[in-house]
Amino acid sequence: MSPRNRKLVGGLGMILFVIVYALVAMALADSRPVQSSGTVLQIVVYIVLGLAWILPVMPLIVWMEGGRRRKG
């Protein structure tokens, strides 16, 4: 697959993933256990949910770059 097509497919995949992830994260953040807990736990949940999407997307980004990371 050419680099241009790889980036197109990867970009569309990331957009779809982020949309689905945002919906799931909103449902989790609005759940009863999170809302009934303290403010500190709510802040931690929001931070974790706000950053957790990065880990599943990293392999896709590596694939878009050509399949492997450059060393050095």
pTM: 0.73
- Reported for 8-12, long-range contacts at CB under 8 A and 24+ positions apart, including other chains, are 10/60, 10/61, 10/63, 10/64, 11/64
pLDDT tens for 1-56 read: 888 889 999 999 999 999 999 999 888 887 777 667 778 888 888 888 888 888 99
DSSP 1: -
pLDDT of residue 67: 64
pLDDT of residue 72: 46
Task: List the chain domain ranges.
Answer: 3-65
Q: Which residue has the higher pLDDT, 37 or 61?
A: 61
pLDDT at 63 > cutoff 60? yes
